[in-house]
Amino acid sequence: MSTAPLPEAPIFDETGAAKERLLSRRGEPLLYANWDNVLFIHYEIEPDELQRCIPYPLDLYHGRAFVSFVAFTMRGMRPRLGGTLGALLFKPIATHHFLNVRSYVRHKSEAGIYFMREWLSNRLAAWLGPWSFGLPYQFGKIEYRNDFEQDHEHECRGHVEANDGSFRYCATLTNELGSSAPESLDEFLLERYTAFTQSGNRRPVLSHLARTMAASCSESRNRDRRFNSRH
C-alpha cells in the first residue's frame, strides 16, 4: 500500500451521522465505557518522518502532521449485551488508566486514528488487547491527577513508567469548557470515530470529544526514545 499522504478532504460527519453509521454495523457497538478527565498533548511532527512509522497514509491538517498523547481514565467498560452479568464479567478490566499515542490517518478516503502505542495500568487488559483487537497494549505504572472538575484544580500532572521508558507531564488550564469550531485544528484532532489497526481490521469508535478545555503543557518529557512506534 502506498504511504504517500492522500489529498486533504472534509474531515468528519456530525456526531449524529457518525453514531448512525456505527449503529448500522452488525454487532456494534461491542462495548461501552466512559472516558474520565481526558487530557490531549499534541506534538507537530515533520510529515515525511512520521509517515515512515505509520502503515496508513497520514491525514494532514493543511499540510501539518500531528501525534497526540492522550491521558485518561477509562471507567465502567462493559459489553453492550449481557446486562448486569456482562458488566460483572468485565469488572476485572472495567476501570484503569490509559496513555495512548496516536497519529491521524486516512484509509479508503475515511479519516481515522492509528494507535502507535498504548499503555494500561491493568495487566489483564494489557494482555487481552493485542490478540483480541490487534491493539498495541502494554502494561505501565500510571499515576494521574487530571481532575478538571474541581474548582480549585487548575493544574494536572501525570507519570507513566514502563519497561521501555517513562513519560511525565504538567499542564495548566487556559480556558473554559467549549466546543471545537468547524474546520479548526481542535476539530481535526478530537473528532475521530474510527480506529484502524495494524492488521488491517478496523472497528468504529464513537467518542464525542468536541467540548474541550485548552491546557498549556509546561512540562513533558520521556526518559527513553523507544516510546516511538515499532514495526
Per-residue model confidence as pLDDT tens digits over 65-102: 999 999 999 998 888 888 899 889 989 988 999 999 99
* Amino acid 86: pLDDT: 87
Average pLDDT of the residues in 6-11: 39
Least confident range of 14-28, 55-69, 147-161, 187-201: 14-28
- Is 204 a residue whose pLDDT tops 50? no
The average confidence (pLDDT) of the chain is 76
d(CA 223, CA 116): 18
Average pLDDT of the residues in 142-147: 86
- Is 121 a residue whose pLDDT tops 80? yes
Q: Give the 3-state secondary structure of the chain.
A: CCCCCCCCCCCCCCHHHHHHHHHHCCCCCCEEEEEEEEEEEEEEECHHHHHCCCCCCECCECCEEEEEEEEEEEEEEEECCCHHHHHHHHHHHCCEEEEEEEEEEEECCEEEEEEEEEEECCHHHHHHHHHHHCCCEEECEEEEECCCCCCCCCEEEEEEEECCEEEEEEEEECCCCEECCCCCHHHHHHCCCEEECCCCCEEECCCCCCEECCEEEEEEEECCHHHCCCC
- Is 208 a residue whose pLDDT tops 70? no
* Amino acid 128: pLDDT: 87
pLDDT confidence tier of residue 212, bands split at 50, 70 and 90: very low
Q: What is the pLDDT of residues 12-49, one digit of tens each?
A: 444 455 566 666 767 667 788 888 888 888 999 999 99
Backbone angles phi, psi at 125, to 5 degrees: -65, -40
Is the whole-model pTM more than 0.85?
no
d(CA 142, CA 96): 9
d(CA 184, CA 207): 18
pLDDT confidence tier of residue 116, bands split at 50, 70 and 90: very high
d(CA 94, CA 32): 10
* Amino acid 215: pLDDT: 53
- Is 157 a residue whose pLDDT tops 60? yes
Cis peptide before 29 (omega within 30 of 0): yes
